[in-house]
Structure 1
Amino acid sequence: MQRYFVEEQAIENRFYIFGEDRHHIVKVMRMKEGDCIICVGPNQNSALCTIAEITDEQVTAEVVQWIEGSSELPVDVTIVSGLPKGDKLEWIIQKGTELGAHRFIPFTSARSVVKWDAKKAAKKVDRWQKIAKEAAEQSHRTIMPEVHAPLDLKSLLKLCGDYDHKLIAFEEEAKQGEASVLSKTLSSMNKGESLIIFFGPEGGLADQEVTLLQEHGFLACGLGPRILRTETAPLYLLSAVSYHFELMG
């Protein structure tokens, strides 16, 4: 069933849907009054709704039943990715959203081949956020992940103080056989806590970047014995978090 994130909470058990989502319901899905959708409000509550009215301005959806439970990871995970080439970041955002990430922050790493064009920033970030929204709807999330505009490392470090756990995915640690930091970190985490983890671009993180992060309380960890691509590593991490907290019980 089609799911939509609604900007405002239900008023008298009715959601009001505007803009692109209204267009999607009417023009793409060709839904009619009486059809069913799921609406997700800004406070993360979901409801099975029927379409009560369609006008040129909005779709009105009436709540039939509130949906209990949550599909969200029990911990808050922020993925920080060194700007990669091509559409790899879009892949990370789409698949990372499906796997439960709460937030994505691209950063301009010393080894990023792609140079960030500030003039195109707003349009690019809007596209990334739309990818996250569509992936969240498809995977039945109750949170739409936030996608930041790219930051430099020093700016990023100012945002990291509030996180409970801080990691760096560093391939040199994997090459040396390090296999305990990620496991110990997940085992020490409690539900509701937050984790931020840095991933390098195609060329990896520079030594000086790793050193600076470690000086700010980050721990370097390996992600198994194989060297993963920049677009694969975040998905490995999120899968490990899901397995630890959702499948191991």
Structure 2
Amino acid sequence: MRIYKLPVSFSGESFFLLSPKESRYLVSVLRFPEGKTFSGRDASGTPWLLTLQKVGASYGLRCTPATEDDATENAADAMPLYTGFLPAIHLFPCLLKGKKLEGVIRQACEMGVRRITPVHSAHCVASFVDDEKRNAGKIQRFEAQVREAVQQSGSRIITEVTPAIPFSDIPTAWGSSGPGLFFHQGQNDALSFGQRIALIRNHVLAGAPLAIVIGPEGGLSPEECALLEASGFHGVLLKTNILRAETAAIYAIAAAQSLLLEA
């Protein structure tokens, strides 16, 4: 663990009593001694300095507001934390079968993606169930992946995972927030990925968010591509081997970040 993600029930108090599960994690798994001071972040990404304190048979955290420098200096391991600019990427991954989507969420969170909205498209193998109780359970599992990723990577961005939406709702969900790209093997855009990024680079570096849509195992349908194009999204062909949907998502994020930050 590099940065401890405070539970969502934390609301800025100076002393926070830990649940038995959280106490066991810090004391038995990480073997933190009483009095250990380390960095943490709340649900909004705000940094805190935390000191482990025993209270009877339980444990709590003495919480002090911190700066980003404090968070870096008090990371739980010696590796330096990245404190530079990261583009505000909003990922729209189509639903994947099994636990593949959870893996995408965990890795995207490690890379500093701001928001993830799963999407049900025409060729999704995984089913979309509009059931509030079941969807709430999925969001809880996704949030567990976010927490694990934040604590492992030390990311200062607490990725937001929103409930899944139908593909047709992407234009409404995104609106005119910023540029949007979709990655699809059948897309023959005249511009390369690098050329397209070059056109939007200044816009994104100035703070505009970037939407990235990734198709499912079965790919996007022609109608879905047309919908995105009509909504201002630009199609990009990844000039590489045919990738699994979960691989394409991470490849696209990494390539976008590199092209935006290193050009």
When normalised by structure 2's length, the TM-score is 0.80
Q: Which of 132, 136, 143 is the aligned partner of 1:122? A: 136
- Contact 1:73–1:100 (Cα < 8 Å) also in 2: no
- Shift in alpha-carbon separation, 1:199–1:236, aligned structure 2, 3 A: same
Structure-1 separation of matches of 2:41 and 2:254: 24
Which whole-Å CA distance do the structure 1 matches of 2:39 and 2:15 have between them?
Answer: 10
Task: Determine the C-alpha separation between the residues in 2 that align with 1:15 and 1:214.
Answer: 51
Deviation at 1:78, TM superposition (A): 0.9
Return 239-248 or 60-69, whichever deviates more.
60-69
Q: Which residue of 2 aligns with 1:77?
A: 89
Aligned to 1:5: 5
Superposed CA offset, 1:215-237 (max 9, x none): 11111112224322211112112
**Cα drift, residue 174 of structure 1:** 5.7
Match of 1:103 among 101, 115, 129: 115
Calculate the aligned-residue CA RMSD, in Å: 2.8
Could you tell me how far apart the structure 2 residues matched to 1:177 and 1:191 are? 22
Change (3 A) 1:199 1:26: same
Task: Give 1:187 shift.
Answer: 5.3
Contact 2:48 2:63 (8 Å CA) reproduced = no
Q: Secondary structure at the match of 1:237?
A: helix
Structure 1, residues 136-164: CA drift from partner, whole Å, max 9, x if none?
12111122211122110223321111421
The one-letter amino acid paired with 1:87 is K
Which segments of 5 or more consecutive residues in structure 1 lack a partner in the other structure? none
Amino acid in the other structure paired with 2:98: G
For the 8 Å contact 1:48–1:67, the answer to whether it is kept is no
Q: 1:126 to 1:42 in 2, by over 3 A?
A: closer
**Structure 2, unpaired ranges of 5+:** 73-81
1:52 is matched with 53
Mapping of residues 112-191 of structure 1, within 5 Å = 112-119=124-131, 120-173=134-187, 178-179=192-193, 180-186=195-201, 188-191=203-206
Is contact 2:48-2:64 (8 Å) kept? Answer: yes
Amino acid of the residue matched to residue 38 of structure 1? S
Is the counterpart of residue 32 in structure 1 residue 57 in structure 2?
A: no
Q: Hey, what does 2:252 align to over in structure 1?
A: 237
Q: Label 1:198 to 1:37 Cα distance change in 2 as closer, same or farther (>3 A).
A: same
CA distance in 2, matches of 1:72, 1:92: 23
8 Å CA contact 1:182–1:221 kept in 2: the answer is no
Question: How far apart are 1:84 and its partner, in Å?
Answer: 1.4
Q: What one-letter code is carried by the residue in structure 1 that aligns with 2:116?
A: F
1:204 and 2:205 equivalent?
no
Q: CA deviation at 1:117?
A: 3.3
Q: How far apart, CA to CA, are the structure 2 residues paired with 1:65 and 1:187?
A: 31
- Rounded Cα–Cα distance in structure 2 between residues aligned with 1:200 and 1:45: 33
> Taking structure 1 as the reference length, what is the TM-score of the superposition?
0.84
Structure 2 match to 1:221: 236
Residue identity (%)? 24
Structure 1, 71-80 or 83-92: larger mean CA deviation: 71-80
Q: 1:80 to 1:72 in 2, by over 3 A?
A: farther
The one-letter code matched in structure 2 to 1:164 is G
